Amino acid sequence: MSDWKEYKLGEVCSDINYGYTASANLNAIGPKFLRITDIVPERINWETVPFCEINDVNEKKYKLEKGDIVIARTGATTGYNAIIKESTNAVFASYLIRYRVKNKIANPFYIGYLLKSYEWKGFVQNVMSGSAQPGANAKQFADFDFELPPYQLQDVIVSILSSLDNKIDLLHRQNKTLEQLAETLFRQWFVEEAEESWEKNNINSIASVIQYGYTQSASEEKVGPKFLRITDIQGGVINWDTVPYCKINEKEIHKYKLKTGDIVVARTGASTGENIYLHKPEESVFASYLIRLQFSNLYLARFIGLLMRSYEYRGYIEGILSGSAQPNANASELTSFQVQIPSPEKLQVFYKKITELDEKKYSNNNQIKTLTQLRDTLLPKLMSGEVRTKI
């Protein structure tokens, strides 16, 4: 490894810049506006990233390019980062710092993988140690030092890791297609072919349980079951690998344990109304800013789960929140949406079709977990030279 040279992050960057200050909007006005909350999940879901209004000069200054790395600089997410994998019309928000890597020195994607390493996480913890308020500035991050192999070897390592990431991305795209198919079937069966004779009722009138979540602090240590929070539900998807844990006694576990058929809904913040139907969740309980809905049977629960992912329900939530200075809604408001309920027989036939899609997604998620663990095992070994590769 004599040909590996030591660098600091700032030395391999041609541009380091703080982000743009603006308000996000959901009205497709301006470019996409990447924020800290958008890079906390392992993958950026560009569909859920909002927009912002920005003039031409600033848009050029803050525009993200393929290979750019953005790092969160404040709060509990300090040090979280993401690399922009493809060209997109987007700018980045003020609590992010962009690092643009010099291609002649380092492969930006190699640096992107390096910033997922334990060394980076340890470095960030040291930077923040003793701080009353978690955070770091661009200069502090730029002092992160590491050994860099020759460019050709960087390319080989990136190729190995990205091949795994590409397989993971493919499975995520398959899951997205399955979700869209489920939504299409739902609209066909229950919106386009709705019958006047179907009974009308509010969600809260047909739910058997409406329950607020458990109040506790999250822990990265495995001190109990997984602790599902609002931030863990992104665009109707949960990455269970990043969900933290919590301490809880056996009695409370029984009360708050999540099961197949549960629907959890966010009740506060920008994600108010965000929800997900759970199919074979991991051993977990849910946090206090979530509300759980349960129904008398799985086919009714699955129907309501898809209903709450519909345009109509999202429009209903936007109506509740319009004019609110601080977005939030209580259980009654979140579940007062009116629904036409088909016959049990029709719901059962539909449930059988949808469950086939749910099982395929579940299988894909297991493959994603296996591939992610393999990548995360290889990453530090390749980055340290413990596992050698041929150029």
Q: Return all residues near 315 (Cβ < 8 A) that are at least 6 apart.
A: none
For 114-155, the pLDDT digits (tens) are 999 999 999 999 999 877 788 999 999 999 999 999 999 999
Report the range of poorest mean pLDDT among 79-83, 91-95, 334-338, 380-384. 380-384
Q: Which CATH superfamily is domain 199-341 in?
A: DNA methylase specificity domains (3.90.220.20)
Query: Minimal CA–CA distance to 248: which of 228, 224, 281, 222?
Result: 224
**What pLDDT sits at residue 289?**
96
pLDDT one-digit tens code per residue, 286-313: 999 999 999 999 999 999 999 999 999 9
Tens of pLDDT along 190-207? 999 999 999 999 999 999
Q: How far apart are CA 250 and CA 90, in angstroms?
A: 47
373-390 confidence digits (pLDDT tens): 999 999 999 998 888 777
Place of tokens 């060209």: 87
Confidence tier at 42 by pLDDT (50, 70, 90): confident
Residue 8 has pLDDT above 70, yes or no: yes
Question: Over the stretch 158-182, which tens digit does the pLDDT of each residue have?
Answer: 999 999 999 999 999 999 999 999 9
Q: How far is Cα 158 from Cα 388, in angstroms, rounded to an integer?
A: 13
- C-alpha separations of 116 from 42, 122, 136, 232, 314 in Å: 10, 11, 17, 19, 35
Query: According to CATH, where is 3.90.220.20 located in the chain?
Result: 5-148, 199-341
Enclosing H/E stretch for 124: helix 118-128
Contact 338, 201 (CB under 8 A): yes
Q: Rounded CA gap, 243 and 39, in Å? A: 15
Residue entry with tokens 């960087």: 154
**The pLDDT of residue 391:** 67
Strands (E), 246-384: 263-266, 275-277, 284-286, 290-294, 338-341
**CATH classification code of 5-148:** 3.90.220.20
Tokens read off for 27: 């009205």
- Contacts of 130-139 with CB under 8 Å at 24 or more apart are 133/74, 134/74, 134/75, 134/76, 134/78, 135/73, 135/74, 135/75, 135/78, 136/73, 136/78, 136/79, 137/73, 138/16, 138/18, 138/73, 138/97, 139/10
Average pLDDT (33-45) is 91
Which pLDDT does position 103 carry in this prediction? 84
How far is 278 from 301, CA to CA, in rounded Å?
10
Task: Spell out the residues 6+ positions from residue 240 whose beta carbon is closer than 8 angstroms to its own.
Answer: 226, 281, 282, 284, 369
Pair 90, 64: CB distance under 8 Å: yes
From 357, 165, 362, select the one nearest 282 (Cα to Cα). 362
- pTM, 2 dp: 0.86
